[in-house]
Chains A and B, each alone.
Chain A
Amino acid sequence: AQSVTQLGSHVSVSEGALVLLRCNYSSSVPPYLFWYVQYPNQGLQLLLKYTSAATLVKGINGFEAEFKKSETSFHLTKPSAHMSDAAEYFCAVRTTNTGNQFYFGTGTSLTVIP
């Protein structure tokens, strides 16, 4: 079975500080992994995706994530938080076993403190 766990439903960082949002996955086959962001009153927007090429993936708005198979993790980072980064972040997994479904985590709400 496939699943995603996001540790920390709420994360607060100061503006300019490192952002680290955690995602661990469970999959019996090599996964494709995605991070989506949801700004207030908007839909889910793709930040980045891992598709078995480079393990360090760069996305939009300065975010990146590293796939670590040994840790079954795909944590999202940004070196310096900006006020506009305040949003809900979702990690998702998609594998050949799941057809065309995405399995999402519960989401992490990021607050940026000025």
Chain B
Amino acid sequence: EPEVTQTPSHQVTQMGQEVILRCVPISNHLYFYWYRQILGQKVEFLVSFYNNEISEKSEIFDDQFSVERPDGSNFTLKIRSTKLEDSAMYFCASSRGRDRYFEAFFGQGTRLTVV
């Protein structure tokens, strides 16, 4: 069964460092997303991506964040200068379409720890 894969599963970084979280969405999906979950809090929307550009972003997704689809398969989230409060589980997801009927398929997450 096709699945969304994320690497690494756990990343520890020093405050101020850049991190890149990687995702391989399901191959025939068109929409890609990043969500995050700070420990004990809600799963929060960060950004959606379609046709090689950002479709929507939340207020969390500030200038420190960027996304890219560098080739036909990978979808990356970059945090330019990490802060302690960026520590969270980051989920990548993809869906076949934008319509609300379509469910999102999620990866297993990358746990980012900023020290």
In the assembled complex, the CB of A36 is this many whole angstroms from the nearest CB of chain B, namely: 7
- Which of B58, B101, B106 lies in contact with A43, CB distance below 8 A? B106
B40 to chain A, nearest CB (A): 8
Interface residue stretch chosen among A13-21, A68-76, A79-87, A99-107: A99-107
Is the CB–CB distance between A101 and B103 below 8 Å? no
Which A residue sits closest to B95, measured CB to CB?
A: A100
Nearest opposing residue in chain B for A36, CB measure = B106
Residues of B close to A99: CB separation below 8 A: 48, 55-56, 98
Q: A90-B43, A105-B42 are in contact. Are A100 and B103 (CB under 8 A)?
A: no
Nearest A residue to B9 via CB reads A41
Chain A nearest CB, measured from B109 CB (Å):
6
B92 to chain A, nearest CB (A): 9
A90 to B35, CA, bound (A): 13
A77: Cβ under 8 A from any B Cβ: no
Docked complex Cα distance between A41 and B98 (Å): 28
Q: Which residue of B lies closest to A97 (CB)?
A: B100
Question: Which B residue's beta carbon lies closest to that of A30?
Answer: B100
B25-61 CB contacts (< 8 Å) to partner A: 31, 33, 35, 40-45, 48, 50, 55-56, 58
Taking Cβ atoms with an 8 Å cutoff, the residues of B that contact A are 3-4, 6, 9, 31, 33, 35, 40-45, 48, 50, 55-56, 58, 91, 93, 95, 98, 100-101, 103-109
**What are 16 inter-chain pairs, A to B, with CB distance below 8 A?**
A41-B108, A43-B6, A43-B91, A43-B108, A44-B91, A44-B93, A90-B43, A92-B43, A95-B100, A100-B33, A100-B56, A102-B43, A102-B45, A103-B45, A106-B42, A107-B43
Binding site for B on A (CB under 8 A): 32, 34, 36, 41-46, 49, 51, 90, 92, 94-96, 98-107
